[in-house]
Amino acid sequence: MGKKVELLDVDSEKIMEEIRKAASPPEEVEHWVTIYVMGKPYKVPAGLTIMKALEYAGYRYIRGAGCRAGFCGACATIYRKKGEYRFRTALACQTTVEDGMYLAQIPFVPANKATYDLDKVKPSPNILLEYYPEIARCVSCNTCTKACPQELDVMYYVQAAIRGDIKRVAELSFDCIQCGLCTLRCPAEIQHYHMAQFARRLYGKYMLPKSPWLTKRLKEIESGMYEKGYEILKKMLEKEPEKFKELYINRVREKEEKRIMNPLELEGED
């Protein structure tokens, strides 16, 4: 069965060394830029992220680096470019350095989160206002939207929150990484991302229907109907490992329409 793997005459160890080299920082730097880290100039290679550039310059992060991949919001950064009036925001791990950046990273964003018992609250139209009354103070300046490194429609979700449209808040804010930049910039002192978290949980819990299939499966598990299957497999694994392997190999991959209830009946199919 099957085709043979091409037995190329390869030196696996050498290949691994080549990979190591390819993945390390290049020895020679061709293009440089100058950035100003909290006012101090540093010459760094062009094409690095702000985060890697700071490290290149000799900084070692304790605060300000989390996922290093745009998912955690630990690396909120503010900057201006030389000679430009515009105030900019970015994620240090997801933004390439540019010549003449004056930048500072925000180590921490003070923001209060409301506490609630999700089992007791109800997704009523006023609930967001009740727990985060300051959203009513929004002056629609759109500064939050401009600050958002995820390019979310932050002002719209605040407006939706005021209207009590929980679904809209949940959907518009879904990609929020809770970096806090909107909250730092807001003249109305709104704590957008905490409010949105509340809205999403309300939506997930109360407005998305619970899965009927899941309910059914939970009942089955509770009834103990799978225990016997596990027992059989355990024994087979211990006593007849080859048979166990065969069972695995011959298990059938789901096709859209095909429904198989029990893998122990699978042998020989397809």
Q: What is the DSSP letter of 3?
A: P
Residue (95 or 143) nearer to ligand FES, CB: 95
Q: Pick from 84, 205, 243, 267: which binds other proteins (CB under 8 A)?
A: 205
Name the binder of 188 from ligand FES, other proteins, ligand SF4, none, CB < 5-8 A by kind.
ligand SF4
Span of 37-45, 60-68, 165-173, 234-242 interacting with ligand FES by CB under 6 A: 60-68
Lay out the site mask for ligand SF4 across 193-212 (x = CB under 6 A, - = otherwise): x-------------------
Cβ nearer to other proteins, comparing 143 with 150: 150
- Of 87, 94, 53, 56, nearest to 72 by C-alpha is 94
- Its sign, for the CA torsion 113, 115, 117, 123, is negative
Q: How many CA atoms lie within 13 A of 1 on its CB side?
A: 0
CB 74 within 8 A of CB 44: no
Indicate the residue among 118 and 139 with the shorter CB distance to other proteins.
118
Contact 137, 188 (CB under 8 A): yes
Q: Please tell me the distance from the alpha carbon of residue 72 to that of residue 64, in angstroms, as a whole number.
A: 10
Which one of ligand SF4, other proteins, ligand FES, none is in contact with 240 (Cβ closer than 5 to 8 A by kind)? none
In the complex with other proteins, which residue's Cβ is closer, 187 or 269?
269
Q: Which of residues 167-206 bind ligand FES (CB under 6 A)?
A: 177
- What residues between 167 and 196 interact with ligand SF4 by CB under 6 A? 176-182, 185-188, 190, 192-193
User: Got the DSSP string for 105-123?
Assistant: E------PPP---TTT---
Q: Coil, strand, or helix at residue 219?
A: helix
Residue 263 engages other proteins in binding (rule: CB under 8 A): yes
